[in-house]
């Protein structure tokens, strides 16, 4: 036994001596290299009369393993924050390229031009896009597509028949939640898409609308799925503002969909708009219902 132990000790010492002789580079190579985080950006289309004049990317979330983390927050009064300086250095270098995604599908690569500010507490980057994104629409970009469940683009604009079904469903949802006056004729759809959220999945409508009644301005976001011949509410939010200048106003709108964990079902990304700020949310289908698994990013004053 002692002889075997002595032989093993000699063997270990010999291996260590060999590694030392080969130099620090070989020894360092034995250490595991930590995987880099994946950053997802929201792509804002260019809007006429808005600054900056072109398209931009805004950080949505940082993915480290299974964790969804908020990107560093930029504060105008503390622009030299080391965390944000490092983030800008790593991801906003001119000439960097990232995959552009819409509807869960790759659409080529965008190119970073330079960092730009869009508010007193947000720093984004101006980008050149490989395809035109219509004004007021959004898409996603990602530092690496590894681990994602990419597929064909499932997203398209809703038809007139689908818009009518969406309005009817929204009115019914509001009435069930205590809103007595729901004038469908005055409901204004802000955006509405038909899609599916997994291969062979049910028809889904995702969109938002607003309307006025005696109690104020109502903002409604809905995810509707079609079972049988009718659509039903799968996810919804409803906020009320006193008027257009209400500082407590909240809106929620669809950004895009993407299978973040490659489980075969797309997650839903939305944007919350406030009086002078915004942030993002990610919803995941868990045990048959949509659950919010992340809220963060964005900026504002």
Most distant CA pair in the chain, distance: 93
The residues spanned by each domain of the chain are 38-142, 156-300
Query: Are the C-beta atoms of 196 and 202 separated by less than 8 Å?
Result: yes
Residue 53 confidence (pLDDT): 84
In this predicted structure, the answer to whether residue 21 has a pLDDT above a threshold of 80 is no
Average pLDDT over residues 194-211: 95
Q: Rounded to 5 degrees, what angle do the CA atoms 157, 159, 270 make?
A: 35
pLDDT-based confidence at 6, cuts 50/70/90?
very low
Write the CB contacts of 29 (distance below 8 Å, at least 6 apart in sequence): none
Give the model's pLDDT for residue 40: 97
* Three-class secondary structure of residue 205 per DSSP: strand
Instruction: Please check whether residue 109 is in contact with residue 41, taking contact to mean a CB–CB distance below 8 angstroms.
Output: no
Averaged pLDDT score across all residues of the chain? 87
> Dihedral of CA 149/153/157/161: which sign?
negative
Percent of the chain with pLDDT over 90: 66
In the sheet that holds 204-213, the strands lie side by side as 156-157, 188-195, 204-213, 216-227, 230-241
Residue 205 to residue 196: CA distance in whole angstroms:
8
Q: Please check the confidence at residue 33 and state whether its pLDDT lies above 60.
A: no
Answer yes or no: are the C-beta atoms of 259 and 148 closer than 8 Å. yes
Asked if residue 28 has pLDDT above 50, the reply is no
Check whether 166 has a pLDDT greater than 70: yes
**What is the per-residue pLDDT for 74?**
67
Give the model's pLDDT for residue 24. 52
pLDDT in tens, 233-289: 999 999 999 988 898 899 999 999 999 999 999 999 999 999 889 999 999 999 999
Main-chain phi, psi angles of 39, to 5 degrees: -110, 130
Element (H, E) at 15: helix 2-22
Q: What is the pLDDT of residue 4?
A: 42
**Residues 119-160 pLDDT 10s:** 776 789 999 999 999 988 999 999 998 889 999 999 999 999
Predicted pLDDT at 137: 93
Mean pLDDT across 59-80: 82
Taking residue 29's Cβ as centre, other Cβ atoms within 10 Å add up to 10
Q: What is the pLDDT of residue 51?
A: 77
- pLDDT value for 76: 57
Cα separation, 51 vs 229, in Å, equals: 45
**pLDDT confidence bin for 79, thresholds 50/70/90:** low
Which pTM was predicted? 0.86
């Amino acid at each position: 036994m002692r002889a075997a132990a002595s032989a093993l000790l000699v063997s270990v010492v010999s291996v260590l001596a060999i590694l030392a002789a080969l130099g620090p580079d070989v020894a360092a190579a034995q250490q595991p290299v930590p995987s880099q985080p994946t950053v997802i950006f929201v792509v804002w289309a260019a809007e006429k009369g808005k600054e900056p004049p072109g398209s931009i990317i805004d950080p949505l979330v940082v993915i480290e393993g299974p964790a969804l983390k908020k990107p560093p927050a930029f504060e105008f009064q503390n622009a030299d924050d080391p965390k944000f300086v490092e983030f800008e250095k790593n991801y906003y270098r001119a000439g960097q390229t990232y995959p552009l995604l819409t509807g869960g599908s790759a659409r080529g690569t965008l190119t970073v031009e330079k960092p730009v500010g869009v508010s007193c507490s947000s720093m984004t980057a101006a980008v050149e896009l490989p395809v035109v994104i219509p004004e007021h629409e959004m898409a996603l970009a990602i530092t690496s597509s590894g681990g994602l469940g990419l597929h064909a683009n499932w997203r398209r604009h809703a038809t007139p028949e689908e818009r009518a079904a969406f309005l009817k469903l929204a009115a019914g949802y509001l009435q069930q939640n205590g809103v007595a006056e729901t004038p469908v004729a005055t409901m204004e759809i802000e955006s509405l898409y038909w899609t599916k959220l997994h291969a062979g999945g049910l028809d889904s409508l995702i969109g938002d609308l607003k309307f006025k009644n005696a109690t104020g301005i109502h903002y409604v976001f809905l995810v509707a799925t079609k079972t049988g011949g009718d659509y039903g509410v799968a996810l919804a939010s409803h906020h009320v503002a006193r008027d257009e200048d209400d500082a407590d106003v909240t809106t929620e709108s669809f950004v895009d969909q993407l299978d973040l964990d490659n489980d075969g079902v797309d997650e839903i990304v939305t944007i919350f708009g406030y009086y002078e700020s915004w942030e993002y949310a990610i919803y995941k289908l868990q045990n048959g219902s949509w659950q919010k698994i992340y809220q963060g990013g964005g900026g504002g004053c």
